[in-house]
Amino acid sequence: MITNSKIILVLIVLFASFTITFSQTVEENSVETDITAKPIISLADNVGATVKDEVSQIGEELQTRAQSLFTHTPMGWNINTIKTIYDWFKSFPRRVPELIDFTIEQSRVLGFVGSIIILAFLFAIIYSVIISKRLLKKIEVYLLPLKKKLPDDYYPYLISASKILIASLFPFLLLLIFLVIKTAIVFRANWFTLIGKLLWIWTLGALIINFLRESLISEISKISPNYGKTIFRLSRIVLIYTMGSISLFISAKAIGLPPDILAFIKFAISLTIVCSFLIPLNKKNALLSILPELPYKSYEIFIKTLDRYYFTSILLTFFVGLMWCFGFKRFAMIILTRTWAVAGVYILIMLIYHFLRKLLLKWDAKKVGSEEENETKNTLFKSLKSLLTFSMVIALILSTLYLLSLINPFITMLSFTILKVGETHLSVLSFLKVIFIVVAFFYFSNLLRAILDYKFYPFFKIDTGIAYAIDSFLNYFLVGIGFLFALFYIGFDLRFLMVFTGAIGIGIGFGLQNVAANLLSGFMLLFGQRLRKGDWIQVGDTTGVVTQISIRATKVKSRDNIEYIIPNEQFISNMFVNYTLSSPLIRLTVPVGVSYNSDPQHVKELLIKSAEKHPEAIQYKKPDVFFKEYADSSINFDLLVWFDVRKIGERVMRSKLYFTIFQDFKAAGIEIPFPQRDLHFKSGLHKDFQGKETS
């Protein structure tokens, strides 16, 4: 007799033979490569020496970079520059008439346009003092109806955004007018271009200052009011000074000062800005209060480290800034990007992650219809959460490597060949790429299946078993496609994989018959619809619900919360009971015996009423009673009740019915008999246990 295992063995051998034949055909028709002729897997030659050479090259590159860090950039000024500036200020009173004549000449050339610009500036100043508050009150009145429509958490943010826009509106309008005038006229005097640059600085400065005000000292601020006011005052002073310094520098450049004087002005401005970092030295608690509290272990460690080395960080930033001012710009920029830039990007990524995760949690907290819908929604939530975490970790790693300038050394270090598969050279980086692509496809597969379960299947009313089969197929298919794509991406010749698969097929056919049988049985179960997820089945003495059908085994959970792992081959080769294959309704037989003194018709009515009392009993399938037999001590009946096996177990249902029947029979005076025996003794003499006659 041919068994299933033998059939599977024959199929596997035939598949392996076909694969090898196909590979040989490819070999005959291929002129570019001979990889299928001699598939060889071997370690790379001289791996140790290669690693040593790579490390040596990276070390030399890093040493060269370290030496270039301290390259000094000429400052562009010297002691003669200071003397020139001193002489210029000394002779300034004599040059006032020349400056007046130059201004009058430029105003005559510009004419009406210049008057408009001056009036616009005056209007902007008046607006900033008087009109902005009135306009803001009117805007709040217009926005008041939105307060009832928007959630309470969002309305304060809308008001704050309105304040920022209104406070920056007129500088923006002036900039817009300037740009229109600039495109309409050909006039390009230095001072006209300077006005445009100053308007840009004013607009950006107004936006930043008002944004800081709303973020630090308004209703939406999460910071302590005292700390918020302190930080805002410091920030505003530093920002206004920086804007004024930049305006001074571009003004000096616009009037045509010599390059050495411009370089000295730039040095002085930079030095004062760097010295301003000493201002927040004693404002540790206030500055650290800006950072939000996030419930993540890595973030908490980061905050504790920053708190511990706060003064060291400020002083290091100060000294690095001084080195930048004195010409060591490359060293300063690298140190700053290695510290504050990495920290800033880390905080930004964590804030984005926290914001998106909070949105997901809020969406998941909203309950939908049935328990099954909530379960599929929770699965989608977990998939989105996993994908979000994976994306944020990858973004954090890549951004950190980029800011630390370690991407190229990292790639170089991991790119040396450690394994040869045919003509393909594989490195550690190749394996990392494969892992990344496969993991990405895995997360995408989970997300796609969760979306289908949550929206697609319920909308088209697809059966649960078919949906589970589609999900299982998509899971294996997408992960398999991801694996093949990863191999193709790293340059792996897939024809060699065919030969390798054929060899594995032969090995499976001879050594792993049971495993192969379970795998094929798994696919037959998934798409044969004999067994589906959620079915209540009985295999031998095991009864439970199918919770998972994988390609190797099926997981069944009993009502006692005991999980059984059953090989798939048993479902193909052996008989099992599927209570819910066509319908989840089954009929339960409850035997009942009563006394011969009872009226059978009355007993039938009582049994039916007892069954109808239970909500678990199916009402549209009426219970029935069979008169079974005349027994020795009782007349026996069978109560037949329909119920949903998914909602309640057979043993529990029978127990509930017996409780009800006992109470109803007792109330009706119907006796439930038990077996009795009457013993009769004959009269006359008989011997006792000692052999004496007694009467």
* Residue type at 198 in one-letter notation: L
Q: Residue 39's pLDDT is what?
A: 46
The CATH fold assigned to 533-582 is: SH3 type barrels. (2.30.30)
Tokens 């005052």 label which residue?
233
**pTM value?**
0.67
Domain boundaries, the chain: 79-289, 533-582, 583-668
529-558 as b/e: b if 16+ CB within 10 A: eebbbebbbebeeebbbbeebbbbbbbbee
600-636 as b/e: b if 16+ CB within 10 A: eeebbebbbebbeebeebeeeeebebeeeeeeeebbe
* Least confident among 129-138, 298-307, 378-387, 676-685: 676-685
Q: Residue 442's pLDDT is what?
A: 92
The CATH fold assigned to 583-668 is: Alpha-Beta Plaits (3.30.70)
Q: Residue 123's pLDDT is what?
A: 65
Decide if pLDDT at 207 tops 60: yes
How far apart are alpha carbons 228 and 218 in whole angstroms?
9
* Residue, of 666 and 25, whose pLDDT is higher: 666
Q: Residue 681's pLDDT is what?
A: 63
Q: Rounded mean pLDDT of 53-60?
A: 68
* Residue, of 24 and 160, whose pLDDT is higher: 160
* Least confident among 72-86, 448-462, 524-538: 524-538
Q: Phi then psi for 369, rounded to 5 degrees? A: -60, -100
* Residue, of 44 and 242, whose pLDDT is higher: 242
Q: Rounded mean pLDDT of 661-667?
A: 92
Decide if pLDDT at 211 tops 80: yes
Instruction: Tell me how far CA of residue 695 lies from CA of 469, 682, 683, 688, in angstroms.
Output: 85, 12, 9, 10
* Least confident among 195-199, 436-440, 640-644: 195-199
DSSP 8-state assignment for residue 590 = E
Decide if pLDDT at 222 tops 80: no
Tokens 């819910």 label which residue?
580
For the chain, the average pLDDT equals 78
Q: Could you report the per-residue pLDDT of 280-298, keeping only the tens digit for each? A: 677 888 888 888 888 899 9
* Residue, of 136 and 689, whose pLDDT is higher: 136
Gap between the terminal Cα atoms of the chain: 77
533-582 and 583-668: identical CATH topology = no
Decide if pLDDT at 510 tops 60: no
Q: Could you report the per-residue pLDDT of 157-168, keeping only the tens digit for each? A: 777 888 788 777
Q: Rounded mean pLDDT of 57-73?
A: 70
